[in-house]
């Protein structure tokens, strides 16, 4: 018997107990012995719940029980999750987490503590919910020189953008409805401003480079300024708008960014809709690979945590190598990256001739129902060159990057 404990009996924590109990027979076959949740740590009592006898309020009870070998940290946030995870690892207990904030902030340190104490720190559920992406990067793709990761890593924003694309609705209206249905948080800032996707691409980029990519240094733009008109133009170009998190290794280093992009219908991420996530990974031998599934939700996320529990149970007393050092991975300035850009500006002969003079060859985009605007797509140029040219124009309404 392998004993585990769950820290935090919220959506994911209760899902972990459910997955471990519903699939116990199959899991036991895969591990070679049973896995049992011995304790659940929470401030609440959960009277009447089947786990009520296992609820404890003091983390030390778990820490001091030598039978507990694996701890599922499903609390979220930095503290007390960080302190509990550190104490557990120092005591030689493996930690499996869904906590992207903690992994992005302290992942390499916690991995080092796991190595030093012959246990594991695993975080499959921290990116892409139920989608296997950490294990592919850390195991299946280890023969590769990876150079590109591009993903839709946030379910809330993908749901909002999908509804806007399908219904021609405005951002604020869809957000309000998503909040009412529980798809978006009361304070949606972390999702809609791209911070959540930023932490997730920082984790994936760190695994790609083997060094620490600091999420605070990643250029991040959210979707709160995207409008129904932007989607009408995108549709006229046979494109949609997606919040992409991307990271690319080049000769001199690594770029990473999060921003809304107009992507064409041929792009495999175009068809990733609603709360689904997808991650595209390119390696020098395998070429393109893609991972798709539910990026959030109780059972998908819990399933990812339990996959880590199983991996830890298979490696008691041994650390599974994870290439992510505490050394910093410097990020290159995205201003040198090149792409095409979509621009909307107020109509008027002067504005239009100035735009053509400044940008040279532009492809004009027309949407019959939108009046009083001049919209176009530029040729490929660097972010820096684009920003300098755009600054010369009056009446700019918005600009959105294009990705092919
Ligand atoms: N708020 C996150 C999302 C939850 O919408 O994707 C999963 O990390």
Mean pLDDT by 10 residues, the chain (404 residues): 98 97 98 98 97 98 98 97 98 98 98 98 97 97 97 97 96 94 91 98 98 98 98 98 98 96 97 97 98 95 98 98 97 97 95 94 94 97 98 97 96
Model-level pTM greater than 0.75? yes
CA end-to-end span of the chain = 51
Rounded distance from Cα 197 to ligand 1 centre (Å): 8
Rounded distance from Cα 124 to ligand 1 centre (Å): 14
Q: How many other C-beta atoms are found inside a 10 Å radius of the C-beta of residue 315?
A: 15
Residue in the block written with tokens 């953008």: 161
Q: Which atom of ligand 1 is nearest to the CA of 197?
A: 6
**pLDDT reported for residue 181:** 84
Rounded distance from Cα 106 to ligand 1 centre (Å): 19
Rounded distance from Cα 90 to ligand 1 centre (Å): 30
Q: SS3 of 3, please? A: strand
Of 306, 276, 322, nearest to 136 (Cα)?
Answer: 322
Of 159, 158, 97, nearest to 302 (Cα)?
Answer: 97
Both structure tokens of 49? 């719940």
Of 103, 199, 130, 193, nearest to 157 (Cα)?
Answer: 193
**pLDDT reported for residue 244:** 98
DSSP state, 137? Answer: I
The whole-angstrom distance between residue 311's C-alpha and the CA centroid of its chain comes to 22
**pLDDT reported for residue 182:** 82
Query: Which element (helix H / strand E) includes 232?
Result: helix 228-236
Active site residue 200: yes
Which residues have a Cβ under 8 Å from the Cβ of 28 and sit 6 or more positions away? 34, 35
CB of 126 closer than 6 angstroms to any ligand 1 atom: no
Which residues have a Cβ under 8 Å from the Cβ of 391 and sit 6 or more positions away? none
| 340/253 Cα distance (integer angstroms) | 22
CB of 296 closer than 6 angstroms to any ligand 1 atom: yes
Supply φ then ψ for residue 126, to 5 degrees. -75, -20
CB of 8 closer than 6 angstroms to any ligand 1 atom: no
Residue among 100, 200, 211, 298 flagged as catalytic = 200
Which residues have a Cβ under 8 Å from the Cβ of 21 and sit 6 or more positions away? 37
């Amino acid at each position: 018997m392998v004993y585990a404990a769950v820290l935090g009996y919220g959506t994911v924590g209760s899902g972990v107990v459910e997955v471990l109990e519903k699939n116990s027979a199959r899991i036991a076959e895969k591990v070679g012995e049973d896995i049992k949740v011995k304790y659940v740590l929470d401030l609440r009592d959960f009277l009447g719940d089947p786990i009520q006898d296992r609820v404890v309020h003091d983390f030390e009870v778990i820490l001091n029980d030598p039978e507990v070998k694996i701890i599922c940290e499903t609390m979220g946030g930095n503290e007390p999750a960080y302190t509990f995870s550190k104490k557990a690892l120092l005591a030689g207990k493996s930690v499996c987490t869904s906590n992207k904030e903690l992994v992005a902030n302290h992942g390499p340190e916690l991995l080092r503590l796991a190595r030093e104490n012959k246990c594991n720190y695993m975080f499959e559920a921290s990116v892409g919910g139920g989608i296997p992406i950490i294990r592919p990067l850390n195991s299946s793709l280890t023969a590769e020189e990876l150079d590109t990761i591009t993903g839709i890593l946030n379910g809330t924003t993908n749901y909002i953008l999908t509804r806007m694309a399908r219904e021609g609705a405005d951002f604020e209206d869809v957000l309000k409805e998503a909040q009412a249905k529980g798809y978006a948080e009361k304070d949606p800032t972390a999702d809609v401003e791209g911070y959540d996707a930023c932490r997730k691409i920082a984790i994936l980029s760190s695994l790609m480079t083997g060094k620490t990519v600091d999420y605070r240094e990643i250029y991040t733009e959210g979707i709160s300024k995207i409008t129904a008109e932007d989607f009408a133009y995108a549709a006229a170009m046979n494109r949609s708008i997606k919040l992409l998190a991307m990271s690319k290794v080049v000769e001199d280093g690594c770029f990473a960014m999060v921003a809304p992009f107009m992507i064409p219908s041929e792009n495999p991420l175009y068809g990733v809709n609603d709360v689904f996530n997808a991650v595209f990974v390119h390696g020098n031998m395998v070429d393109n690979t893609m991972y798709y599934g539910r990026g959030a939700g109780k059972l998908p996320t819990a399933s990812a945590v339990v996959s880590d529990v199983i991996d830890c149970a298979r490696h008691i007393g041994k650390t599974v190598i994870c290439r992510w050092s505490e050394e910093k991975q410097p990020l290159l300035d995205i201003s040198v990256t090149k792409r095409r850009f979509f621009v909307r500006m107020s109509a008027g002969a002067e504005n239009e001739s100035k735009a053509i003079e400044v940008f040279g060859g532009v492809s004009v985009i027309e949407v019959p129902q939108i009046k009083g605007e001049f919209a176009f797509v530029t040729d490929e140029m660097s972010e820096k060159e684009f920003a300098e040219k755009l600054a010369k124009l009056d009446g700019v309404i918005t600009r959105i990057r294009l990705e092919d």
